[in-house]
Amino acid sequence: MTSEQRDQLTFDDPTTRHPDITPPEQDQPKPGLDAELEPRSDRGETSYRGTGRLEGRKALVTGGDSGIGGAVAIAFAREGADVAINYLPDEEEDAARIAELVEAAGRRCVRIPADVRDREACDLVVAEAVEGLGGLDVLVVNAGRQVAQESIEDITDEQFDDTVRTNIYAMFWTCRAAVKHLPAGSSIILSSSIQAYSPSETLLDYAMTKAAMNNFGKGLAKQLAPKGVRVNIVAPGPIWTPLQVVDGQPKEDLPEFGKGQPLGRAGQPVELAPAYVFLASSESSYVVGETLNVNGGADSP
């Protein structure tokens, strides 16, 4: 079977399902593009096969232009959902590619460039998604900021503020704006991280926000469950995305990225997509307030 014929349902060895990459040291200016990532990541362009699990759904994915968010948008479309993607204006090249793939699946793609560090922008993103999709029943809060620093003394007030506003404030504002639009049966899915449980010494501010996200998600899940809206969390391990090369990792660590996991390699964005599809679908109707860890075998609580 050729690589083009393989998909997420193919039976094979997970240690070799995707290449054991050794990325060269590289740098991109913020916010970073999949189009310039070396090696390129697998977002499911040729390796995700839909089975109709989200037919007729209307989903908003923040950070939906690249990496995990891009893979989720592709998978949702191939499962039958119309998708709105939010991204920074500088990420238009990646967003156009995701929109092309969503539309190739026969679904609608609403592109919403906006900086979610601003509350009014979060309100606008939700409003434009609802208008463009004709409603909303899946919200994926995925936009994130991660900057590695060797010492707490190197974390400036500006970096700290940007990280918290992107990862925490935007999550809160987007969820708050969305809940009034979500009918019973809807899902909210938050993108957390293995860093919430096992923080790296170089990611103090990022890891802190992901731990807070887990707590917020579990609390919101209890609040919304009686209304028939489920909230769950996905906690990725080391996944090869532009986030890693835009100061997300120390540059000298990039060649070894992900090699310490029990599977022996970094994950690819497409390997996250089935988790989001499951949590968005009615198959997970009794799954509420859970954190699904997709991390290559690392210990999780």
Contact 209, 283 (CB under 8 A): no
Structure tokens at 18: 């995707």
DSSP string, 30-98: TT--GGG-SSPP--STTT----STTTT-EEEEETTTSHHHHHHHHHHHHTT-EEEEEE-GGGHHHHHHH
Edge-to-edge strands, sheet with 82-87: 109-113, 82-87, 58-62, 138-141, 187-191, 230-236, 291-294
Vertex 298, ends 161 and 248: CA angle to 5°? 30
Contacts of 283 (CB under 8 A, 6+ apart): 53
The owner of tokens 């990862």 is 167
Vertex 28, ends 22 and 32: CA angle to 5°? 100
The span from the first CA to the last CA of the chain, in angstroms, equals 37
Q: For the chain, give the number of residues.
A: 301
List, by residue number, the catalytic residues.
Answer: 206
* 176/74 Cα distance (integer angstroms): 26
The DSSP 8-state label assigned to residue 240 in this structure reads: -
The owner of tokens 């860890």 is 293
Structure tokens at 192: 């957390």
Q: Which amino acid is at 146?
A: Q
